[in-house]
Structure 1
Amino acid sequence: MTVAVHVSGDAKAAVDELVPGLVASLVASRLTAGDDDLWGEDARAEAAVRLGWVEAVSVSRPLVAEIVALRDDLAARGVSRVVLAGMGGSSLAPEVIANTEGARLTVLDSTAPAQVLDAIDDDLRDTVLVVSSKSGSTIETDSQRRAFEAAFTDLGIDPTERIVVVTDPGSPLDASAREAGYRVFNADPNVGGRYSALTAFGLVPAGLAGVDIAELLDEAEASMLQFAVDAADNPALRLAAAITGTAPRRDKLGLITDGTHIEGLPDWIEQLIAESTGKGGTGILPVVLLPVSPELESRPADLRIVRLVDDADEFHLTERHPGEILVSGTLGAQFLLWEYATAIAGHLLGINPFDQPDVESAKTAARGLLDARPEQVAPAFVQDGIEVRASDAALTESGTIEGVMDALWARLEADGYVSVQAYVDRGTMSQLQGLREMVAADSGRPTTFGWGPRFLHSTGQYHKGGPAQGVFLQILERTDVDLEIPGRPFTFGQLIEAQAAGDAAVLAEHGRPVVSLTITDAADDVLALFEAAQ
């Protein structure tokens, strides 16, 4: 067995109740055959062009030799550093693959100017940039490509020799890249970005970084029969039932890595499940946890724990984690397991797991702010160099950051959650991720953490289309560091500011409370945020 899924408690009860019906309805084999009727009539048109991932292993095999040949050619020319410009699934899957295999891959999925500059300044002479976008219209990826093109040109390096494009066939990016002379890899157009781990979007950057991508496909292929068969021990059926079918349903899913060799898989699972299920006022909210996170101590009733381990059988026998879902498997198998389970969860929830109806709203709002360039709203107050703004004046009445956070937590319902969203340079403010643990302890509720604008392409769909349970804490920064975007009338600094403001505006329109804390150069210590959260 390449994959193991162990359940107990109410998760086992859900499996026992739901899996026989899934087996009788031939859900696994119908999904494997590309049956677009599994999610109802309204979803058929979308599902018909989004099920290519079930054939990703066979479709992607011919790419392996091409990717390896390009890697060898680049190495012969002294190119050893791979930078990936991509958002959402286009960057998260390659990041997991590279980190798990210890390969050198710089993932650029941010518009923070300092972070873009850092990626550009780290010795371009031995760098290849992979630009990954299904359409090429993604503003972050397009802006990053423009910046690298200019930087290569300034060094006398022909960009067509150092930029590789991954996109759908016939997309605007496909046409423009080929016309310009770039090397282009086409992905299967019948695969959505969040299901694209085993397509060109996952394989090209990971393969160029030195990963044995043939072995990754072998791992996935070895597990395919497990997921395709209509049987009670199908791990994908069991996992889908366990995460959707408990009574009452636990709609928060805590994801923990515990001793597994796979690095960063919960972040990829988070974007897959949140964007696939968070719509129509329902969904499953993934919460990436540490083995010592406060939620494991408090155990909220609406939080289901999934523990990713190297050997689920061994963990199961120790009975150290009653009531949890234990999952193990190779990386290739895990990608397929979660894709199958997420699609089947959509079937059980009665939603279309392949669309993202609320993602565009934040993009539209950001574009509007870039076009209009309104004056920034003055902060309600400033404390220790941190500017405080909120969607509702009542949230800032206390005049202190501590009071604002208490007021925000007071808006939480019994089934609520907190979303911390950091639109900052991750290189200089990586310690902010520790804020998640303190907020979870202080608020007493499950807390997600997202780097902006990356999360807009993943959990952003859930925040606006899922249940109206969330309260939102934005962390922004204001510095003198900025970078022009060639051919655009705005800078990276203006872009990330518009993205944060646009998303806050859309959340507020949906009735979600939002507090924005902007760290300025006058801030003495970012750790003041931690103190305020206590």
Structure 2
Amino acid sequence: MTWAGDEGRAIIEVTATGDAATAVREHVPALVGDEVASRLSGQDPTLWGEAAEEEARVRLGWTALHDTSRDLLEPLARLRSELVEEGVDRVVLAGMGGSSLAPEVIAGSAGAQLLVLDSTDPDQVHRALEGDLRRTVLVVSSKSGTTVETDSQRRAFETAFTEAGIDAASRIVVVTDPGSALQETAQEARYRAVFEADPTVGGRFSALTAFGLVPSALAGVDVARLLDEAAAVAPFFAEDTDANPVLVLGAALAGTSPLRDKLVIADHGSGLFHFGDWAEQLIAESTGKEGTGLLPVVVHPDAPELQDVAADVLPVHLVPLTDEDDDSPAGSTRTEVTVAGSLGGQMLLWEHAISIAGRLLGINPFDQPNVESAKKAARGLLESTPAAEPPAFTDSGVEVRASTGLLDGVETVADAVQALLDSLDERGYLAVMAYLDREGHPAEVLEGVRSGLAGRAGRPVTFGWGPRFLHSTGQLHKGGPAVGVFLQITGTPRQVVQVPGRDFDLGTLISAQALGDARVLGESGRPVLRLHVTSPDALAWLAGLLGGRR
């Protein structure tokens, strides 16, 4: 175990056993000798090699956000007070990836109400628009200002405010990088407030920038405490010692040999709301490239992946911080990592550790070279909508399509799913990608699917909601090890939500995103099974088939 804190009181704890402990012993001395911790805290862009230096030079501002973000506190407190006085207490966040995942964790961990809208599913967006607009403020978060999902949500809400007789400009708050297209739009429209984020911080490292703090503060979270938690551990993370938690965690995650590249993350009462979902993006986008990477698999503690741990799986347990001694026996052969600490402290811990993991893997942790491919494919489909591809067959209300060769001799959904599972190799994984309403009925129906498939496959299974995961694990799917197989689930929305000022609606957009991603995966040689449900009953039937054991 290693920890950070003063006078015997730990505020961050990291424990590594088995192969993970061996990795720590092998790699941490060299990391200490190379002064990696102090150089990282000092924003040294040379840590990842010459090829990464140019990008790293403008991507390390996150190491000091516990200090540099404090200028946001006063204007945020003032704006929240104004909104509350006006009876505006429903905060909706339109954002994707780093712009939404961190605020969801921050607000949820504090018990604050924040409606995160990170989907183009028409049913999900329609439900948000049907809420009490007279009590609503919309936070629009986008680094570039051109994210199609966020722009579409902004347009829909602006029109809805106006149609409800509300001054739309007074109810829209923007978070973006200086000089972005969104900043220009906000200034022209005279939106309520514009908060500029630190442009030297990439999206997945932006939890403690305006992207994480603005929506959280407007929802009532004490974000000063979050910064204090990060500030409390930052000095320890800069120390070049073998007890530095960031060095231990980074080495444990990326230093096992052979590499345990499936990080199965389970929360055992840490008190942090959906922390694994935030860590998922940080890990996958930072490491999944150049044919390597660490696959985050977010699971419940009783997941099949943790019952019979495969040789390429590293269990990672998020646990509460207590004063009790670690109960792992000395010299334990069980391989696992446990992490405990405050939210602000853990966010900074994982950002440091994953940056160090990138150094050990020999990749640039700050780029995402494959993210744009699916976006480009979706844009092309929107601009020139092709004729619908006929299904190979339909079974019980489920239309079945797949990449070349996968359905040879297959005539039922059950056999199609089995064919996909049979294509898994001994180091493979299955990614379930559901382009459906993640907060409505589909979420309830599909709840047991991930675990059920993992039990059947005997391999790690991830579950992502589209298009949300495209800004997260989508990078690793295409840039990481070519061992994934992919199950895409789509449906027909009940609602139609037009995007004002555009010649497409959200149903068309989410369909293009799903098809675009499937095409990119298929063109890169990844097996893809596409199941389109035509009714709620068909979805329930499919969920039962997928979640059952054979």
- With the length of structure 1 as denominator, give the TM-score of the two structures: 0.98
Say which of 111, 117, 120 aligns to 1:111.
120
Indicate how the Cα distance of structure 1 residues 100 and 527 shifts in structure 2: closer, same or farther if over 3 A, else same. Answer: farther
Contact 1:256–1:290 under 8 Å retained in 2: yes
SS of the equivalent of 2:69 reads helix
Is contact 2:95-2:141 (8 Å) kept? Answer: yes
Displacement of 1:444 in angstroms is 1.0
Alignment of 1:488 onto 2:502: yes
Paired letter, 1:430: A
Partner of 1:36: 45
1:14 to 1:515, Cα distance in 2 relative to 1, 3 A? same
SS of 2:317's equivalent in the other structure is strand
Tell me which residue corresponds to 2:356: 344
Cross-structure match for 2:296: 286
2:286 equivalent in structure 1: 276
CA distance in 2: counterparts of 1:480 and 1:379, whole angstroms: 21
Q: Distance in 1 between matches of 2:536 and 2:463?
A: 25
Q: Distance in 2 between matches of 1:303 and 1:486?
A: 46
Distance 2:149 2:337 in 1: 36
8 Å CA contact retained: 1:111, 1:496: yes
More moved, 308-317 vs 159-168: 308-317
Q: How many Å separate the matches in 2 of 1:379 and 1:268?
A: 35
Give 1:163's aligned residue: 172
Specify which of 45, 69, 73 is matched with residue 64 of structure 1: 73
Whole-Å Cα distance in 1 between the matches of residues 341 and 142 of structure 2? 29
1:475 aligns with 2:489: yes
Larger mean Cα displacement after TM superposition, 273-282 or 243-252: 243-252
Aligned length: 534
- Corresponding residue for residue 99 of structure 1: 108
CA distance in 1, matches of 2:487, 2:113: 33
Matched, 1:143 2:185: no
1:214-259 deviations in Å (ceiling 9; x for gaps)? 0110001001011111111100000000011111110110111001
Match of 1:410 in 2: 422
Q: Are the equivalent residues in 2 in contact too, given 1:384–1:522 (CA < 8 A)?
A: no
Match of 1:234 among 236, 244, 249: 244
Structure 2: runs of 5+ lacking an equivalent = 6-10
Which of residues 139, 142, 149 in structure 2 aligns to 1:133?
Answer: 142
What CA distance in whole angstroms lies between the structure 2 residues aligned with 1:325 and 1:522? 40
Query: Aligned partners of 1:312 and 1:244: how far apart in 2?
Result: 27
Asked whether the 8 Å contact 2:271–2:320 carries over to 1, the reply is yes
Paired residues of 1:304 and 1:324 also in contact (CA < 8 A)? yes
Counterpart residue number, 2:447: 433
- The CA distance in 2 between the partners of 1:88 and 1:396, in whole Å, is 37
Once the two structures are TM-superposed, the CA of residue 17 in structure 1 deviates from its matched residue by 1.0
Aligned-partner Cα distance in 2 for 1:234–1:532 = 43
SS at match of 1:473: strand
- After TM superposition, the structure 1 = structure 2 runs for residues 325-344 of structure 1, keeping only pairs within 5 Å, are 325-344=337-356
Q: Please give the secondary structure, in 1, of the residue aligned with 2:407.
A: helix
Q: How does 1:387-466 map to 2 (within 5 A)?
A: 387-395=399-407, 397-426=409-438, 427-431=440-444, 432-466=446-480
State the distance in 2 between where 1:132 and 1:522 align: 33
Q: What secondary structure does 1:231 align onto?
A: coil
| Conserved? CA contact 2:61–2:198, under 8 Å | yes
Residue 380 of structure 1 contacts residue 396 of structure 1 at CA under 8 Å; is this kept in 2?
Answer: no
Quote the Cα distance in structure 2 between the aligned partners of 1:13 and 1:480: 53
Q: Does 1:262 align with 2:272?
A: yes
Mapped partners of 1:93, 1:315: distance in 2: 31
Q: Give CA deviations for 1:47-69 in whole Å, capped at 9, x if unaligned.
A: 01100101111110010111111
* Distance across 2 between alignment mates of 1:7 and 1:22: 17
In structure 2, what is the Cα distance between the partners aligned to 1:360 and 1:418? 22
Instruction: Report which stretch shifted further, 221-230 or 521-530.
Output: 521-530
Deviation of the 1:514 alpha carbon: 0.3
Distance 1:271-1:433 versus aligned 2 partners, 3 A rule: farther
On the 8 A contact 2:99/2:211 being kept in 1, the answer is yes
Deviation (angstroms), 1:323: 2.1
Contact 2:533 2:539 survives alignment (8 Å): no
Range that drifts further, 449-458 or 313-322:
313-322
Match of 2:339, SS? strand
Distance of 1:12 and 1:85 partners within structure 2 = 41
- Contact 1:133 1:167 (8 Å CA) reproduced: yes
| C-alpha separation in 1, matches of 2:353 and 2:494 | 46
**Deviating 4+ runs (over 4 angstroms):** 318-321
Q: 1:396 to 1:532 in 2, by over 3 A?
A: farther
Give, in whole Å, the separation in 1 of the partners of 2:523 and 2:390: 20
Amino acid of the residue matched to residue 294 of structure 1?
P
Deviation of the 1:525 alpha carbon = 5.1
Alignment of 1:319-330 (within 5 A): 319=329, 322-330=334-342
**SS in structure 1 at match of 2:368:** coil
Q: Distance in 2 between matches of 1:453 and 1:318?
A: 40
Identity %: 57
Name the Cα RMSD after superposition: 1.3
Q: What code does the residue aligned with 2:428 have?
A: G
Distance 1:503 1:313, change over 3 A: farther
Q: Secondary structure at the match of 2:493?
A: coil
For residue 529 of structure 1, report the CA deviation from its aligned partner.
2.8
For residues 279 and 429 of structure 2, the distance between their equivalents in structure 1, rounded to whole angstroms, comes to 18
Counterpart of 2:8 in structure 1 is none
In 1, Cα distance between equivalents of 2:217 and 2:302: 34
| Partner SS for 1:276 | helix
Q: Secondary structure of the equivalent of 1:267?
A: helix
State the distance in 2 between where 1:361 and 1:390 align. Answer: 19
CA contact (8 A) 1:114 1:481 kept: yes
1:189 and 2:199 are equivalent in the alignment: yes
Conserved? CA contact 1:27–1:38, under 8 Å:
yes
Q: Which amino acid aligns with 2:240?
A: D
Unaligned residue ranges in structure 1 (runs of 5+): none
Per-residue CA deviations over 1:304-357 (Å, capped at 9, x if unaligned) read 011001127637225599421110000000000000001011111110000000
Q: What's the counterpart of residue 515 of structure 2?
A: 501
